């Protein structure tokens, strides 16, 4: 059994309205030292597979087919044996 964690973010230059609004709200609350806020999404998957390579391949396919939009997203995959 393996746990895969996929962290999905926006590519550089892609608008992040949620991050922008978070930054504005932090400034309004007095946290003026914050210079940037970016949003990321994390998806945790528990996968039954025979090897880490098999998990890597499956998660790559998941990212390409469903979890991300390759035009606007970047992603990072971390795999850990459970």
* CATH number of the structural domain spanning residue 47: 3.30.1280.10
- φ/ψ of 19, rounded to 5, equals -65, -40
User: Which tens digit of pLDDT belongs to each residue from 26-70?
Assistant: 999 999 999 999 999 999 999 999 999 999 999 999 999 999 999
Question: Which residues contact residue 76 at a Cβ distance below 8 angstroms, ignoring those fewer than 6 apart?
Answer: 6, 7
Question: pTM of the predicted model, to two decimals?
Answer: 0.88
Q: How confident is the model at residue 6 (pLDDT cuts 50, 70, 90)?
A: very high
Number of domains in the chain: 1
The pLDDT of residue 73? 98
The pLDDT of residue 26? 98
Domain encompassing residue 65: 2-81
Give strand pairing partners of 46: 3
């Amino acid at each position: 059994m393996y746990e895969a964690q996929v962290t999905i973010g926006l590519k550089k230059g892609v608008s992040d309205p949620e991050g922008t609004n978070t930054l504005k709200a932090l400034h309004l609350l007095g946290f003026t030292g914050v210079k940037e806020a970016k949003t990321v999404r994390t998806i945790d998957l528990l996968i039954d597979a025979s090897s880490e390579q098999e998990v890597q391949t499956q998660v790559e396919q998941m990212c390409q087919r469903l979890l991300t939009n390759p035009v606007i997203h970047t992603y990072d995959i971390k795999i850990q044996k459970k």
